[in-house]
Amino acid sequence: MRDGTENGSSDVKTASKNKRGDLPEKGTGAISRALKALGGFFYRLFYVVLLVWETKPLILFAMVFMSVFNGVMPILSAFISASLINALVEGITGAGDGFGNVIGLLVLQFGYIILSNMVKKINQAINRTSNELVANHIKTKIIKKAKTLDLRDFDLPDFYSKLENANKEAGYRPLNSLASTFSMFSTIISIVSFIVIISAVSVWAPIIIIAISLPSAAVNFIYKKKDASFMRKNSKQRRQMDYYSQLIVNKDLVKEVRIYGLADLLIDKFSRTFRKYYTGLKKLVLQETFWHLGLSVISSVANCLIFLYIAQKTYYGELQLGDYSLYTGALNSISTGVATFISTTATIYEGALFIENLIAFMKEETTIVPSVDEPAQPSSGDHTIEFVNVSFRYPGTERFVIKNVSFKLSPGETCVLVGLNGAGKTTLIKLLTRLYDPTEGVILLDGRDIREYDVARLYSLFGIIFQDFGKYAFRVDENIAFGGISKGIVDADVRTSAEKSGASGFIEDLPKGYETPLMRLFEDDGIELSGGQWQKLSIARSFYGDADILILDEPTAALDPMAEQAVFDKFDSLSRDKLTIFVSHRLSSATSASKILVLESGMLVEEGTHTELMDKKGKYYTLFTTQAKRYMENGAAKETAGA
């Protein structure tokens, strides 16, 4: 309320000043805003120049050359044409110096045409290759920036709007803006030169043409700004259209889309979103076109009157026929040049506005960084982990998904996290691995706040398989070696890891063994694995890294009970003396754990061994006995059916 009162009071004071005619302050404010906008424009333009320079300095030098060349050549062409016409007229009237003069001018004219065409073709080739280079440079900057961003950013719709806007413009906008800037300089050179030429006949003619072009310039700038604003505000609709269209062709979802008959629904949603998007876009285009049509009529009438004036002078002998060609051509060039200057400037302005999307994305800050100036380096070997009053809520939400959780894990312990879906088990893993920072409380690694460690070195301690583990369209050996990317592909280690996870059996049956490409996205001989096979491959990936702390978030969900038990037995023997954390819905895996943590609604409700928790007859007891009863009933039913 106090803020509203202050703002209202300020508005009243401003209004009273304006009533008294206190306009200088208002004018100063407008000038300040204009200067700020101009400063922002030049900053964005400089950012584009820097991007192109980073890509290849030669591109800038080529643009400067073309700017000067394109500015000077039209004037040279106009003079050659005018001189040729005058020479022909003089020849007809018998006042010329002979046909040799005409031949010389024709050679000059065709030389100009040949040179112009050659430079134009070379420029087109440079532009095509430069576009690819600049687009690649910017996309590389975007993905390198994305690599550094926090996982929390990927939970926010606003982040995807920035990413979509930045990616959308990366392919063409920067180089187009810079090319337009240099084109504007070319246009200025031509306009100034032709103004000097036409001034010999009329000083007012170029002034009139420039004056009637100013309203068109205003319309251009206004609607370029509206276009940029429209694109930013409707980023969500464009992403929705991309999403709906991709769902229909997504290889992992196409079966479900087909069986459930979802295609028509998705097409309808795509069409509805497009109509809403197109309605706003069409309105802007029609409004801008209406203004330009009206201004175009006014401009044409003014040009017609000036042409009439020059024609009259030529008719009465005040000007030669070649001069008529020169001066009317100059007027046309000034008129076209002014129009080009306005549209080019507007294009540069629009491009600069869109470049703001890229700048905004590149300015996204990373918060998962060491909290101290000199980060600690975690040691290899045994580790302790301790959660101290840890609470967490996801960005942009108010609900705590982890609430005041405290526990300690000692070296060599095997811990199993138990709880229903949504209890907070996976979120706890994300906090432990510092993909997120706690909202409250602290997590200690070897007695030290994990925020004080070097992030990359901290991540290297963990061998982790998430329940939504990655399926990569690479070879089998590459998929496994991703678990220890720093050491590359070591064939012996790849095979050992596959044997440990139980994946070696099916891998050796594949057409190319460990070199078999997976997924039919790029290669015709790509192989599609089953869910269980992918899961074994992901487990092999965790073995390959030889990490200090092993974390498995539902690693065996796609495996049958026998295969699951085999994996746990392998882990039990291979992870001795290592801190191991499991998340599993199958509670049989918890019976041999040295510690079980039971989560419910984000809170730690029980802690202990299997025997201790069964004796308590609390939450864990209820979950375990309910699951065991179901397995027994299912087994009995199968035996009865078999009998």
| 107 and 159, same domain (yes or no) | yes
Whether 248 and 257 have beta carbons less than 8 Å apart is answered as: yes
Domain that holds residue 49: 37-362
Q: Of 236, 227, 229, 274, which is closest to residue 158 (Cα–Cα)? A: 236
Label residue 98 left, alpha or beta by phi (over 0 means left) and psi (-120 to 50 means alpha): left
- The domain boundary residue, chosen from 302, 333, 362: 362
Are 443 and 479 within one domain?
no
| CA quadruple 113, 119, 125, 127: dihedral sign | negative
Same domain membership, residue 445 and residue 518:
no
pLDDT digits (tens, 9 = 90+) for 304-319: 777 777 777 777 777 7
The CATH number of the domain where 215 resides is what?
1.20.1560.10
Instruction: Determine, yes or no, domain membership for 23.
Output: no
What is the rounded CA–CA span in Å between residue 534 and residue 512?
17
- The reported pLDDT for the residue numbered 235 is 78
List the alpha helices (DSSP H) in 316-459.
Answer: 321-362, 425-432, 455-459
Q: Are residues 289 and 341 in the same domain?
A: yes
Q: Does residue 1 lie in a domain region?
A: no
Residue 573 domain flag? yes
Check residue 441 and give its pLDDT.
Answer: 95
CB-count burial class (<10 Å; 0-12, 13-18, 19+) for 315: exposed
The neighbour count for residue 541, using CB atoms within 10 Å, is: 26
Q: Which residue type is seen at 221?
A: F
Q: CA-CA distance, 556 to 553, in Å (whole number)?
A: 9
Q: Are residues 189 and 319 in the same domain?
A: yes
Pair 425, 332 in one domain: no
The 3-state secondary structure of 404-426 reads EEEEEECCCCEEEEECCCCCCHH
Which of 547, 573, 593 is a domain's end point? Answer: 547
End-to-end CA distance of the chain: 78
Structure tokens at 335: 């008129």
Q: Are residues 63 and 121 in the same domain?
A: yes
Let me know whether 423 and 510 are in one domain.
no
Residues 539, 562 within the same domain: no
Low-confidence ranges of the chain (pLDDT < 50): 1-25, 635-639, 643
The answer to the question of residue 580 being in a domain is: yes
643: domain CATH number is 3.40.50.300
20 within a domain of the structure (yes/no) = no
**Is there a domain that residue 209 lies in?**
yes
Sequence-separated (6 or more) residues with CB below 8 Å from residue 18: 26
Same domain, 500 and 442: no
Same domain, 267 and 356: yes
154's tokens: 């990927």
Residue 27 lies in a domain: no
Distance CA 93, CA 570 (A): 106
Q: How far apart are CA 59 and CA 53, in angstroms?
A: 8
**What confidence score (pLDDT) does residue 388 get?**
95
Pair 515, 526: CB distance under 8 Å:
no
**Last residue of a domain, which of 512, 547, 582?**
547
Task: Return the beta strands (E) in 385-533 as ranges.
Answer: 385-392, 402-409, 414-418, 440-445, 448-449, 462-465
Q: Is residue 144 included in any domain, yes or no?
A: yes
Instruction: Tell whether 532 and 580 lie within a shared domain.
Output: no
Write down the pLDDT at residue 465: 80
Per-residue pLDDT tens digits for 309-360 = 777 777 777 776 666 677 777 777 777 767 677 667 767 776 766 677 778 7
Cβ-Cβ contacts under 8 Å for 613 (sequence gap 6 or more): 596, 598, 606, 620, 621, 624
Query: 391 near 439, Cβ under 8 Å?
Result: yes
Domain count for the chain, please give it: 3
